[in-house]
Amino acid sequence: MSKAITLTEGYVLNKKTKSALLGIGLVMPSFLTLLVLVIYPVILAVMESFQNEADAFSLENYVYIFTEPLILQNIRHTLVVTIISCVLILGISYTLAIYLNFSQSVFSKIINKLYFIPLFIPGVIAIYGFINFYRDNGWVARIIGENNMPSIIYDMNGLIMINIWFNIPFTTMLLLSALQGIPNSVIESAKDAGTSKIRLFIHFILPLSYKTMLVAVTFLFMGLIGSFTAPFLIDRNAPQMLGVSMQQHFSVYNEIGQSSALAVFMFFLCSIVGYVYIHNNMKKSKKDMF
């Protein structure tokens, strides 16, 4: 009897070992890819940011990026463009998602089938089309007159506009999925109780879609603050977005330490947003537990 129990325990243990090894084998390719493409470059960038030209430990790269007036202007410009773009994208996308979810009109059904088309247009093609459309002698200028054409291309206004164009479809898709997950019974019960549209939004729709909105803001901030293609082709030469400034220091000026310090600083900014998102989720999980 005891021998049979021992054989059974050995079989179960062997099965568990095989399952564990199978799980490790399945996870290992993803982990190695993450290690080579993300973790190692991050560690290397952090190390290089604390090295001077003689490869000795130094803080001069961080002293440079926090004291050089042009870099400080780049940081300020990056944060302004990113925050304004996030606010406008979130506001427009949320409004559009609410309209598409609660409207039954033919127009809303048409928009619901077309709003995600920009996701399938290559970024460079879209940017060059945007430039031809809004430049000083572009299509819009030919219609309204070159003298009446506001400054859009090679200006912060154009960069914010193209950021909105690129990010509205994905953000709307996220928010629309959250709104579609709200039970109709909740909305109908609130309406039957005489709740106004504003109170319905504040007390029901917003709290039930807040988590997805936080996810959208996190993705937006991280994507916009490190963007390169649109700022490089549309934005002004000075001040620059940090992604363009980092590329200039790396490839044009061959300042690897300074570009690494800029990369670490951008990673730090993204980490702050990531911390806010994770902290909010953990706090909500604790409330749900109790």
Confidence band (pLDDT; 50, 70, 90) for 22?
confident
70 in the same domain as 121:
yes
56 domain-assigned: no
Domain interval for residue 123 = 61-289
pLDDT of 55: 81
Beta bridge partners of 57: 51
Confidence of residue 7 (pLDDT cuts 50, 70, 90): very low
pLDDT at residue 56, as a whole number: 86
Percentage of the chain modeled with pLDDT above 70: 91
pLDDT of residue 88: 95
DSSP string, 59-87: SHHHHHHHH-HHHHHHHHHHHHHHHHHHH
**Full-model pTM:** 0.82
What is the overall mean pLDDT for the chain?
A: 83
Let me know whether 7 and 72 are in one domain: no
Provide the residue type at 101 as one letter.
N
CB 75 within 8 A of CB 68: no
The pLDDT value given to residue 180: 85
Same domain, 164 and 80: yes
Q: Which of 7-11, 128-132, 136-140 has the highest mean pLDDT?
A: 128-132
pLDDT score recorded for residue 195: 75
Rounded Cα distance between 176 and 187, Å, is: 15
Examine residue 273 and state whether it is found in any structural domain, yes or no.
yes
CA gap 171, 58 in Å, rounded: 41
Instruction: Please indicate, yes or no, whether residues 14 and 69 belong to a single structural domain of this protein.
Output: no
- pLDDT at residue number 78: 94
Q: What is the pLDDT of residue 13?
A: 52
- Each residue of 218-242: pLDDT tens digit? 889 988 998 898 999 888 888 899 9
pLDDT for position 193: 74
Q: Is 166 in the same domain as 241?
A: yes
Give pLDDT tens digits for 147-194. 777 788 888 888 999 999 999 999 999 999 888 888 777 777 777 777
- Cα 189 from Cα 94, distance rounded (Å): 23
CATH code, 93: 1.10.3720.10
**239 cis-preceded (ω within 30 degrees of 0):** yes
**Residue 55 falls inside a structural domain:** no
> Does a structural domain hold residue 238?
yes
- Looking at the structure, tell me whether residues 169 and 270 fall in a common domain: yes
- Is residue 99 in some structural domain? yes
φ and ψ at 69, to 5 degrees?
-55, -40
61-85 pLDDT tens trace: 999 999 999 999 999 999 999 999 9
What secondary structure letter does DSSP report for 249? I
Domain count, the chain: 2
Same domain, 88 and 213: yes
Are 257 and 165 part of one and the same domain? yes
When comparing pLDDT for 3 and 96, which is higher? 96
Band (pLDDT 50/70/90 cuts) for residue 275 is confident
116 pLDDT higher than 90: no
Same domain, 71 and 4: no
The pLDDT assigned to 163 comes to 92
Residue 193 lies in a domain: yes
Q: State what percent of residues in the chain have pLDDT above 90.
A: 20
Residues 84 and 136 grouped into a single domain: yes
- pLDDT value at 214 more than 70: yes
pLDDT score of 283:
67
Same-domain check for residues 72 and 20: no
Residues 131 and 229 in one domain: yes
